[in-house]
Structure 1
Amino acid sequence: MNENSSQDSIVVESNPKPDTTIPMVIYALHLAGIVTGGLTSLVGVVIAYVYRGKGPDWLDEHYRYQIRTFWIGLVYFVASGLLTFILIGFVTWLLAVIWLVIRCVKGFKGLQEQRKPDNVDTWLV
């Protein structure tokens, strides 16, 4: 009888893949904020603040990107709300929604590729 056949072989991965579930949920919460008036986005930014600094650098950049997306989006949506009094706010609100969707899609893509999002510091996309 072969001794190796009776022993369990254990394979230990030297670089386990970091869990990207939380950042994906945060991106989804940001997107759901379009429908919920930003409430889910607020939950998402709190989660991002809690989890930042607890993973590899590229994952921490996602949390930073998500936090910036919340605060910049807040500025854009509040400005759009104020501009609705002169009717241009409806257009700027639509642009802010498109901006948010693009940032979240870029974030999802970066998570799938296990790299930080592009242009983390930009106010644009």
Structure 2
Amino acid sequence: MSDTEPKPITPPTDGDRVLAIVNYLLILIGIPTSGVLMIVALIFAYVRLDQSKGWIRSHFIYQIRTIWGGLAFFIVGWLTIWLLIGVVILAIGAVWVLVRGAIGLIRLVDGRGHPDPRALLF
């Protein structure tokens, strides 16, 4: 390849980036599958959190916050299910996790970190 030819654009094959993508997919798939896959993603995120650097670290923080927030929605929803408000809480929680997972995946694929990974919303 000569210096005048354009170099192909390839995303970095960083292991943390690949794991972050897998985690987002586990989060998105984990919503309708009883959340077990989300727990796996949580474990992966905690394992890599201290060793990751830069903008990838913000994704692991964001994933951890998303999973714990989803768990909080799930617990409150099930505790109030008999009041029928629990169904609404479960639905809002599922949408919240879905949106955060999708936004995180889009930012990761674009090569961007999160401006505030500890934010409650998006």
Whose RCO is larger (CA < 8 A, sep 6+)?
2
Determine if contact 2:67/2:97 at 8 Å carries over to the other structure: no
- Judged with a 3 Å threshold, the aligned counterparts in structure 2 of structure 1 residues 53 and 114 are, in CA distance, closer, same or farther, namely farther
Amino acid at match of 2:52: G
Is this contact kept in 2: 1:81–1:89, CA < 8 A? yes
Paired residue for 2:20?
Answer: 23
Aligned residues: 110
Q: Report how far residue 18 of structure 1 moved.
A: 5.2
Q: CA RMSD in A?
A: 1.6
8 Å CA contact retained: 1:106, 1:117: no
Cα offset for 1:118? Answer: 4.2
2:63 aligned to which of 62, 66, 79: 66
- Whether 2:113 is the aligned partner of 1:120: answer no
Matched ranges for 1:9-88 at <5 A: 17=12, 19=14, 20-88=17-85
**Offset, 1:113:** 1.6
**Identity over aligned pairs, percent:** 33
Structure 1 stretches lacking a partner, 5+ long: 1-15
Q: Deviations over 1:41-99 (max 9, x none)?
A: 00000001111233331001100111111111111111111111100111111111110
TM-score (norm 1): 0.80
Task: Give unmatched runs, 5+ long, in structure 2.
Answer: 1-10
**How many Å separate the matches in 1 of 2:24 and 2:58?**
13
